Amino acid sequence: MTRSLNLLKVENGLIYYTNEDNDYVLSSPARGLINKGLVVFFKKEHRDLIHAMDPITKFDIKWYGFLTALYLASLLVAIPMSPHSVEIFGTWQPAGILIFPLTFLVLDTINATLRYEYAKSTTYFGAGMCALASGLIAVTFFTFDIKSPYKEVFEPLIYLYLINSLCILAADQANNFIFRKLSMKLHKAPIWARSIISSTIGQALYTVIWIGLFFNSSTSLTLLQKIADNYLFKVGYAVALIPVLYALVFTYNILKAKKQNDASELDENSNYA
């Protein structure tokens, strides 16, 4: 089992490294070490160097901005709809059930195309947004005498956004962490396997925390049935979204390669000028 890796030298864009017992010497570009999750086995100063050799590009910034906006928009829409129940396949689900699982899809896409640190930041943005929304709505109700029907619409959001802030910190970050660990331990495993395993565990945490806190009741067969129905539906939905995950990763790779080719051609033309 790999416990640590030692950086030997950087030459011609390749990183040469060995294990702690110096049994072998390997080489890899920075992107390869990052994608495989091996970068975490290096010392901090070496990790910083490896990340510096694979800086985020303008295209990556736009891609990250697009995915983060999709993540936050999904939360903003799904959370206020969640107290209302709808019937799907004979089970009662929160009304935002078709939108909310997109958040896990987005996080898996960020993990697969960029890296864990960006997915973690997106999670913190989501939790912070929900906590801020809860606080601002509470301040508004404390400051002004809000009448019906706005009171009935917005007042429940104080507690609802606060609950989801806690859920995001626990469940979404667990999803990121597990996806990262699977990338480290099973870097040859397909993306769909990493996505399903991480989403299955993350969705379980989110479902238990959200339903438990929102309904604020003691454990009962009815509550357990709601948790089971909600969880199984979200896991099935996550599996159904796997083709979308692959489509997003494919799109990123195609656009990234095109940008790199355009940049190479521009450099060549500049040299001939």
Architecture field, domain 58-257:
Orthogonal Bundle (1.10)
User: What was the pLDDT predicted at 264?
Assistant: 57
Dihedral, CA atoms, 60, 44, 108, 159, nearest 10 degrees?
-100
Domain ranges of the chain: 5-55, 58-257
User: What was the pLDDT predicted at 216?
Assistant: 62
User: What was the pLDDT predicted at 122?
Assistant: 97
pLDDT beneath 50, residues of the chain: none
User: What was the pLDDT predicted at 96?
Assistant: 87
Give the span between the Cα atoms of 90 and 87, in whole angstroms: 6
User: What was the pLDDT predicted at 228?
Assistant: 85
Long-range contacts of 146-151 (CB under 8 A, 24+ apart): none
**Do the Cβ atoms of 118 and 129 come closer than 8 Å?**
no
pTM for this model (two decimals): 0.81
User: What was the pLDDT predicted at 55?
Assistant: 73
- Quote the tokens at residue 68: 């983060």
